[in-house]
Amino acid sequence: MRKTFIIAEAGINACGNLDVARQQIDLACMCGCDAVKFQIYDTDRLYDGDRTAKTYKEHQRGWFSYKNFRVLSDYTTIEWMATPFDVEAVNLMEDIGVRRYKVASRSVTDHKLMEAIAKTKKPVIFSTGRHDTNTVKSSLDILSDNQITLMYCVPDYPTKVKDLNFGRMTKMAEIFKVPYGFSDHTTGIFASIEAVRLGAEVIERHFTVSRNLDGCDQICSLEPNEMKLLVKSIRQLEAYRDVL
């Protein structure tokens, strides 16, 4: 039976609070997730110095130091992952010893970042966002020695169900002949379950201790009871698929 790899995307939902981040990790483990993932960035580099950008303050508040990321990676009992947004973040992740990388859709055209990740030769979970096939191909060519899983992703927070197009998920994976997954920004669990039914091998969901916390990603994040139900539902679907 093929097991779906389920990622709890902690992201910036801890608002820079190390205790909340530890709680996210504990709860992700309790829910049965396979990995918990954070985001490593320098806020000014991420926004190219534009401190007036809509979500600049959200990312500034959600920032952790490199030292804190080491603390969190040591604390985690399931796989610890991160999305790097610059070469310095890749270097930190190599020092920590991550097993794989996640490329965010906003970084698809950052070939300098792709080159740094390519040198690691580690597996890459690659969000396509709204990029066309040629744009995706230009980065995948750089990552030719990395094992790729393409992630269908609609970069709207939250994503409306009417805006989903799972045909794009399966079509792009067919073009590049790689496994595929779904980075889900909807407000429920059903889109993720449908993606697994259609063959998604990786599911990534934003995860929070409570949606009452501050932060722009809380609205599309699952709380612990919802994440637990999602994991349980996916495992049940896998069990049925195995006997049918």
Furthest CA-CA distance within the chain: 54
The packing angle between helices 133-142 and 166-176, to 10°, is 40
Query: What 3-state class would DSSP assign to 5?
Result: strand
For residue 104, give every residue at least 6 positions away whose Cβ sits within 8 Å of its Cβ, in sequence order, or none.
39, 83, 85, 127
Q: Say if residues 180 and 157 touch (Cβ distance below 8 Å).
A: no
Q: What single-letter DSSP state applies at residue 49?
A: T
Q: Residue 116 has what pLDDT?
A: 98
Residue 229 amino acid letter: L
Task: Tell me the CATH class for 5-243.
Answer: alpha beta
Distances (CA, A) of 67 to 23, 82, 100, 213: 18, 14, 20, 24
Helix (H) or strand (E) holding 44: helix 43-46
C-alpha 30 chain-centroid distance: 19
Q: Residue 15 has what pLDDT?
A: 81
Record the tokens describing residue 109, joined without a space: 């055209």
Alpha helix ranges (H) inside 97-209: 111-120, 133-142, 166-176, 190-197
C-alpha 31 chain-centroid distance: 17
Residue 215 exposed, middle or buried by CB count within 10 Å (0-12, 13-18, 19+)? buried
Higher pLDDT, 159 or 61: 159
The model's pLDDT over 147-206, given as tens digits with 9 standing for 90+, comes to: 999 999 998 989 999 999 999 999 999 999 999 999 999 999 999 999 999 999 999 999
Residue 29: which pLDDT band, with cuts at 50, 70 and 90? very high
